[in-house]
Amino acid sequence: MNQQTQLHKNFDKKDFNPGASALKITCWYLTSMLFFRSGLMPISSVLVFLLRLFGAKIGKDVRIKPYIYVHYPWKLSVGDYSWLAECRIENLDQVNIGNNVCVSQQAMLLTGNHDYKKTGFDLITKPITLEDGVWIGAKAIVCPGIKAHSHAVLTVGSIATKDLAAYSIYQGNPAVKVKDRTIS
């Protein structure tokens, strides 16, 4: 067997569990295309209802904007008074978002990656936690396994490759702490 065939064979053998049946995944895909990613439904309360219908745990007064992408709603938990813009939540693993959190436009929450050291590029998933008061700036990226502690800020276009300390502002690629966050 040549190396290309072996790579394809190994890649297909992975035992990732999406946490739902093929029927539920298909129904979510169609619902997501029609109501979320198309932007045809601009009413936040309807989008919240649909996410809950598919198993998301969402608190009160949460704002969901059109064009958002949520890979698996049954692996999403959002606290009260949070705001999710037209961001991308690639939640192959659990994403936990606290109260009063803002995830801005075109931000990405990535819970999956591949092991480049393995011939089959084995899938690696790790959960993401955004604690209360966290702000993820526009076009920022949160990598798998990251925990953004209370009231941390990841600025526009920055990439979080390590946990973010509470009441701290991070910037850059990879993101580094640039100052403390003072809330008045």
Cα–Cα dist 69/51, whole Å: 11
Amino acid sitting at position 92: L
Where b means 16+ CB within 10 Å and e means fewer, 17-53 reads: eeebeeebbeebeebbeebbbeeeeeebeebbebbee
Token pair, residue 139, equals 């076009």
pLDDT band at 39 (very low <50, low <70, confident <90, very high): confident
DSSP assignment letter at 164: B
Domain boundaries, the chain: 20-177
Token pair, residue 9, equals 């064979």
What is residue 14's predicted lDDT score, i.e. its pLDDT? 60
With 90 as the cut, is the pLDDT of residue 65 above it?
Answer: yes
Predicted TM-score (pTM) of the model is: 0.90
What is residue 56's predicted lDDT score, i.e. its pLDDT? 98
The fold of 20-177 is UDP N-Acetylglucosamine Acyltransferase; domain 1 (2.160.10)
99-158 tens-digit pLDDT: 999 999 999 999 999 988 988 888 999 999 999 999 999 999 999 999 999 999 999 999
